[in-house]
Amino acid sequence: MRNKRLNNVLLLVIIIGVWFFPDTNYAFALTPKEIYQKASPGVVFIFASEGSKSGNGGTGSIIRQDGLVITNAHILTRKDSSKLLSSIWVFLKPERVTGNHQADLVRRYKGEVLAYDVKLDLALVKIKNPDVPLTKVDFGDSNRVGVGDQAYAIGHPEQGGLWSLTTGVISAHRSDYGGVPGKNLFQTEASINRGNSGGPLLDEKAVMIGINSMIARKAADGLAITDINFSIKSEVALNWLGRVGYRLASVKAVPSGTGQKPANEEVETPKEPARPLKEVETPKRKPVKEKKNGKILTRKRPYNMDELIAGMQEMEDLMEEMRGTIEEFRRRRR
């Protein structure tokens, strides 16, 4: 009898806590493993080039199940230019990441750039003719995120493994970065390196609160800088998507234990862009003078892709040989 009363009291306390503190859903955080399992299938590897072995490698997040991907503009543009590279490939995460690039990068699809903004460093890519169900990464509300909150990044860092997970906390906020209106960033200690560009910064519910974009590694006097990484806030990305004709919203928080699923208020938009592809111009603003503690390194060519492309070409040659064998078999049967 006593235990029953105690259980009733505990249940009442939980109900009151949920009623008066609706944000308690954030107290019930997923583990890093659960975050990775939930979000990583919606993270892609992007390779952009002029059809050669040399090009830009980066990361992106599927934001709609018809194949829309958000990423960084600098991955898709030519060196020292705002012009797009001609060849865009998008790779889906395999069922199991083995560490062998030839095995892990077999789910390859052509990509089409729908819109991009060099100043904001945002781009929208469409996976062409996906033939498998796609997992999307939901947007979170970056306005709810504060300094000290946990953050998680998934991407493809230089010299690291594909679909790598790194962890850290939100360190600071930056507004109108570089004098670009509305370019609001998170500073985070979650490790980001070349190749992580365009990938998601996630909160403890595995929703995207930022798009990883820049790193600071070396001060003007040569002093090494560590744990200074920048992500474009999800609010910035959502506002930009709305301006180019794709209206999505962040996940609405619901109290834990209610059985409800978070709702992502997505408004149906045309599958094709509302206007012809062109670079979206962000209004200029006189840069604010600020003390520069380091140099932002967002290189056009994240890392040497020779080995990766050689493996991809070997797979392509093998597939072409198989197609030829099948065609020869069909001819003989006729």
Q: What are phi and psi of 290, to 5 degrees?
A: -145, 155
23 is catalytic: no
Stretch (H or E) spanning 241: helix 234-243
Q: Which residues neighbour 36 within 8 Å (Cβ) at sequence distance 6 or greater?
A: 152, 154, 165
49, 197, 213, 234: the catalytic one is 197
Structure tokens at 236: 């910035």
Instruction: Establish whether 197 is a catalytic residue.
Output: yes
Does the annotation mark 121 as catalytic? yes
- Token pair 């840069």 is found at 287
Q: What span, in angstroms and rounded, lies between the C-alpha atoms of 157 and 176?
A: 27
Distance in angstroms (rounded) separating the CA atoms of residues 18 and 5: 20
Task: From 65, 56, 249, 254, select the one nearest 143 (Cα to Cα).
Answer: 249
Choosing from 104, 117, 121, 203, the catalytic residue is 121
- Active-site hit among 40, 61, 74, 164: 74
- CA Rg value for the chain: 22
What are the tokens at 16?
């009151």
User: Which are the catalytic amino acids?
Assistant: 74, 121, 197
